[in-house]
């Protein structure tokens, strides 16, 4: 699996990213997994990330458009080891064998 991610900082609390995750399908589960992969890379401790269940986080799933819109949360450890909750908002699309993911992770 090859990933390409660019990162931008908006203010001091929001981190945005877009990227491509290759090899997948158009299922809701696969789209959410691709979005979580890109979002976790923006966290201080990606291995500790616990994302909201897909049913609560996905606000729109379009099988025809092969895309999801997500507005949820992730719990993960910060640099001091404390667990913090951050907002996750983004879009994941599947086209031509690749996922295109745009996501923002914002501290609450």
Label residue 95 by pLDDT band (50, 70, 90).
confident
**52-84: per-residue pLDDT in tens?**
999 999 999 998 899 999 999 999 999 999 999
Residue for token pair 């895309």: 67
- Write down the H helix ranges in the chain: 28-40, 54-57
What percentage of residues in the chain have a pLDDT greater than 70?
78
What is the average pLDDT value for the chain, to the nearest integer? 83
3-state secondary structure of 79: coil
CA 104 to chain centre: 8
Q: Pairing state of beta strands 98-107 and 83-95?
A: antiparallel
């Amino acid at each position: 699996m090859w990933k390409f991610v660019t990162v931008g900082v908006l203010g001091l609390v929001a981190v945005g990213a877009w990227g491509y995750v290759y090899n997948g399908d158009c299922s809701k589960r696969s789209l959410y997994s691709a979005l979580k992969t890109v979002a976790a890379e923006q966290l201080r401790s990606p291995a500790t990330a616990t994302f909201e269940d897909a049913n609560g986080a996905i606000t729109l799933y379009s099988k025809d458009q092969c895309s999801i819109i997500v507005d949820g949360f992730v719990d993960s450890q910060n640099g001091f080891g404390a667990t913090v909750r951050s907002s996750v908002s983004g879009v994941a699309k599947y086209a031509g064998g690749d996922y295109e993911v745009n996501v923002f992770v914002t501290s609450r």
